[in-house]
Structure 1
Amino acid sequence: MKDGEQIPPPPNSKQHLPVGSLVSPPGGNKKPLILIGVLLFLIGGGIFVGSMIGESEEKVSAGEKKVEAPKLKPRPKPRKKEKTTERPDRESEMVELSKENRSDFPDNIGKWVRLQGKVETGNEDGVLEFEEPVGMSGQLVRGSAAHLSGQIVKVIGWMVSEERIQIEGIFEITTIDPVDLLPPKDIYTIADAEQLIALRNTRATFKGKVGNVRVSGDEKNLFLVFEGESHEFIGSGDINKLKEVEVTEDTLKKLIGKTIKLKGKLSYEKQEKKDRIFINFNDKDAYEILD
C-alpha cells in the first residue's frame, strides 16, 4: 500500500458514528445551564409571590366581610298635631282629671286639663299608655316618653277625646314620688320612715320608744335616740333653749325605755350606714310620755 492511500472498510462491516456526550466537557460552555437556572428561579418566585398575593386578598376580603355598614336609624314618624284652643294663663284655671273623676272626662274634650295617672308604657315615638286611668293614652307632640314607663305623672295637655290627651312636650310632664301621695297621718312611727323623709321641713308628731340619750358631737344639742332598724330616729333639742325651760340631759335620761309622743320640725341627713331622721324640738311641752 502506497503512502497516502486509505484502506477501505471490509465488506459487511458496520460503520460506527461518533457519540456526543450529554455532559458538558470540563471547561465547556456553561451559559445554557445558567439560563435554565435563572428561568427556574423566576418561575418559582412568580408562583410564590402569586400565592402570597392570593392569601392576602383572601384575608382582606374576609376582613371586609366582618365590617358591616352602619345601620341608619329610621326617621321618626311625623306626629300629627291637633289644633287646640288658646291655653289658659294659669294652671289653676284647668280642670284636674284622674281616675277619681272619670265621669268628668267627656265634659272636658277640646279643653286644656291637668291629668294625673300612672303610665304603663312609654315609647320613643312619644306615646303614653296609662295603667290609670284605664284606657287612657297620651301623645307627645315632640320628645320621647320611653323613660316614663311605670311612673306616676301629672301632665298638662289638650283633651283630644275621652281617652286621648295631646301633650306639647316633656316639660309639661311632672313625675310624682308615690310617697307624696300617701295620706297624712296624725301620728307617725318608725314604719313611716320614707313618708317622714318626704315631709322634711314640715311639722309632725312622732311616736317611739326612747333607747338612749346623748349629747351631739358639737355639744350643741341633746339627742333622744329612738329604737329603729331602717333609719336612725332622733329627737334633737337645742341645749341652751332646753335649759331655759328646765330640761337637761338628766331630765331626758328619765325617758329611756319609755314610749313617748314628740312634736317637732322634721329634717333629714344622709349617712353612710343609716340615714338620720330628726324631730327637732326646743320645748318641754313638745314631748308626752305614753307608757
Structure 2
Amino acid sequence: MVWSHASLAFAGLTMVLSPSGQPVAAGGEALFSGTLTNTSATDKVFLNDIAVTFSADPQSDTALSSNAFFANVPGILLPGEVYDGPLFRVSLSGASAAANYTGTVTLRGGADIVASGSLASAGITVLATPVEQWRYRSFGDAAGTALAADEGDWDGDGTLNLMEYALGLDALTPDASGLPAPMVVSDHLTLSYVPSAADVQYVIESTTDFLQWGTADVEAVAVVNPVPPNRVTFRYKNAVSSWGRAFIRLRVVRAGL
C-alpha cells in the first residue's frame, strides 16, 4: 500500500505589521509586531514556517530569529481568531553598514501541520541609518507617519524634522529659537551653526531676490577657538556696505541625495 498526503488549501490569513519599519543598531535586533487574522469563518489555520528575504547584499548581514515568532505566536489560529502582538525579530551583523535594509517576510502553512503554502507576505525595512534611529527614538510607534517624516513638523514650530535632526534640536518641543540666525560681523552677513549629524549635507546659500538661491557668493570663515569647537561659520562674500540687500540661509538634505 502506498500512502500519500496532499496538503489541504486554506481560505486565508492576513498579516499587518505595525509598523513595517523598525530601527536596529549594528549587532542588535529589530522586533516587529503586528496583527494576524484568520479570515476563515470555518477553518483553523496552522502557522508552520516563517521566512525573511532581503534584496541584494544586505541578505548576508541579516538573520531571522524564527524562535521568537513561535515563542510568541500561537501555532494554530482558530476560525476568525486574531493575534495582535510581537511577531518576529531580525538581527543585524555587528559589521553591517549604516543603511536601511528592505525585504519581505512570508508566513507559510495551511489547513494542517505539514502544509507549506504561502499564507501571507509583507514588506519590511530594518532601519540602521542614524537619521532613522533618531526618528524612532523621537517619535516611537508614530515614526512611520507623515508627521514624523523629513518634511514633517511634529512640534509645529516651523522647523522641519530633518532640520531638527541636523541641528540636534528637540523635534517634540517647539524650539525655533535654537535655529542659527544671520548677523552682521565685520561688515559681512554671517551665519554660524553646529552640525550634529553625519548623514546629512549642510548647504549655505545666499540670494538677493528670494528667487535664485545659490552657493557661489558664500564663503567659509575661519574662526579662532569657536564655541562649541565644531561650530562652523559662513558669510556672504560682499561687504554689507557695498550691496543693497542680501539673504543667507542654511539648507540640509539627506547625504547622497
TM-score normalised by length of structure 2: 0.29
TM-score, length-normalised on structure 1? 0.27
Q: Which has the higher contact order (CA 8 A, sep 6+)?
A: 2
Q: Which has the higher strand share?
A: 2
